[in-house]
Structure 1
Amino acid sequence: MRRMRSLTALLALLAGLLGITGIGPAARAEPRVPLAAGLHIGNGRLLEGNGNDFVMRGVNHAHTWYPGETQSLADIKALGANTVRVVLSNGHRWTKNSPEDVASIIAQCKANRLICVLEVHDTTGYGEESAAASLDQAADYWIGLKSVLAGQESYVIINIGNEPWGNTDPEGWTAPTVAAVQKLRGAGFQHTIMVDAPNWGQDWQGVMRANAQTVYKADTTGNLIFSIHMYSVYDTAQEITDYLNAFVDAKLPILIGEFGGPADQWGDPDENTMMATAERLRLGYLAWSWSGNTDPILDMTVDFDPARLTDWGKRVFNGPDGIAATSREATVYGDGSGAACSVGYRVVGEWSGGFQGEIAIRNTGAAPITGWTLGFDFANGQAVTNMWGGAPKQTGASVTVTPASYTATIPAGGSVTLGFTATKGGTNSAPTAFTLNGSACATGQALSSK
């Protein structure tokens, strides 16, 4: 959950799950030509500037409360994330993050090859939480950062304000959300904008769901994505799938911008369905939170130490449909910057109808790679029959490999080696291209090809 929330708000959050309105079948988002040069929305999907579908897989990091934890972004990346949502303050409730600090955060995201979602946290629970800032005040903060944010459209998404409405009169969320989006567009922002739901982000009264089309159409660029926060309100599979499918069916972009899994006094969120459904629908998710919560059951690490993952951290990073298995790095980091990996492939020996091969994966980047997925295609109908060092899955010519426990981490500058046996026909050409976590790797020369 967030850093602060009143008991009254949480109790009220569970009071009204029935009667949530849906997005009608006729209310489908209209395709538009995006103005953004970088990350943008197309046909209800988040796309990179080159048109590549980008699915966020990452976590939230409480930067504004822990500004000294500068190693966290590298640690989050090393565990496989492709995105980090960074908590900032506009100074209304906590210490304001300066333009210099925000510029540094963006630079760290880029250095660690992460997409950076920046959010103002001071808006949390507006209308119910007396200390909260308005969305209009959050928009003014972003406008004050325009010189820092301009030109970063390929790397930065602006989440106007965290959970910007409480449970009191949630219908009041729509107009200020539209106004804040239009204020940023009027100021010349071309970034993809993210908007959070009312009801402390969980939209249990369905206000964002019912008014999403109105908000989306108010954005002149069409580059707007909705964020639902899923905690104890979402404790059944039906609630989760119904909500996400309503947006997908209407061609309205959505992600799970925060979610939790551990049970608390208000309920037991169904994180397994959240993650599985996000993967099935190819929607982003950003788990809460890396470390430093007032409620420590939602910490993924102990004291920001990536070597001390909690059960929640292990679930998010290494469990089924987790970050390590499903994250793919943004292709913008492969554009002209060189691959962060190289792969060597060779045939060790051959016999009639089969052969033994070897694949060496080298990490040419500056940070360890943990929890990888290797992808390649065979050209001549070869089929893997056994592998050591990794677990293969093959569909037709396409092979994906996930690591064994002893090859799961590839240190910076280091490598791991996989061995395998496979069937073959008369021709046994080497694969010509390899990807690691969705990014292209440099390819070493095959030592044998017949």
Structure 2
Amino acid sequence: MTTRTRGVAPELIVLAGCLVSLLTFGPRATAGMFQIPMTVEYGWGRDVFSLAIAVQNLLWGVGQPFAGAVADRFGTLRVLCAGALLYAIGLVVMAHAVTPGVLTLGAGVLVGFGLAGCSFNLVLGAFSKLLPESWRPLAFGAGTAAGSFGQFLFPPFGNVLIDSVGWHQTLVVFAGTVLLVLPLAWALATRPQGSAISPTAAPVANQSIPQALAEAFRHRSYVLLVAGFFTCGFQLAFITAHLPAYLRDSGLSAAIGGWTLAVIGLANAFGSLGSGWLSTRMSKRWLLAWIYLGRSIAITAFILLPASPFAAIAFGLAIGVLWLSTVPPTSSLVMLMFGTRYMAMLYGFAFFSHQLGGFLGVWLGGVLYEVFGSYQVVWWLSVVLGLASAAINLPIEERPVDRPVPLPAE
């Protein structure tokens, strides 16, 4: 399906998708800012808050392949709208949670499944079907960068709101912003059971979802890509949920934590765009390897240097450039290998690995903090995983899966 058949200009599709990414990623990126206010008010340990956010990451990953499969089969519009509603309701439940169970229901279950249905992953799947091939790599970078810009905007905004109206009302305000996804979703509507394919991959007539999954998980390069993406989720989720508390423990103010998250988002906007641009000009597997190696170097320098506002902001800039820059080459490789028909679903399974890593990163951060009184073990684990993922991506073969070319009808 092309943009011409829908009558929607590519520019408008990209703009709407970028706004959806911004509005859904922004509130989620502020999660760490609510940890200390909530645990202080209710007397919880950090492991309670960490479990809720870990469940969010896990269910975001669990729900993503299913949301992608539904979007691939029945169209993107319904999935985006349902996801936005669940997300907004989850934030409201989180705002009024007075027990760990209710917190996990709101921040974990509802927000997690909501993100699965309306985050930038669904946007990238829509881009792959609605945009001409020449637009896709940069559009993937732009959609990812927009989510990063949301991370730049929302933490300072959230800090101001928390100081002025309290953390409860701040979450309600964020829920209202998520509902803006509903009108924007119309520009990203894809037709049910779209049959768009990448010209680099031979089509398979009437390929079913189980057949597509079997093909993907028999493909060694796809399995390596999925395995490497685990580290991305581990590192990002741990930093998002625990960096503000880590900086407070180091004697820095809450404002420094908020601004560090904001700087990560701003730097990531440039990093994601740059990664999208580089994905069209260099080996994607080497690009991924350099990104993971760079993260390990940045984290090592950060935890070895004395804590200071300068070190925190410098770390934000360094890790921000590498934050979501894995997404354009990863999504491009999935599309290169298998085409676009089941792009949202197959990228969703890669993202499940990402979120499984995110679950462990957030959860271990809280649990090991309660055991050791610091985050050092998890920081060093992040370094080791980064080095492992750099190596895992190198054997990936950047070519379409081998498929028999269908014979023309006689």
Q: TM-score, normalised by structure 1?
A: 0.26
Structure in which a larger fraction of residues adopt helix: 2
Structure in which a larger fraction of residues adopt strand: 1
Tell me which of the two structures has the higher relative contact order, counting C-alpha pairs closer than 8 angstroms and 6 or more residues apart: 2
Q: TM-score, normalised by structure 2?
A: 0.28
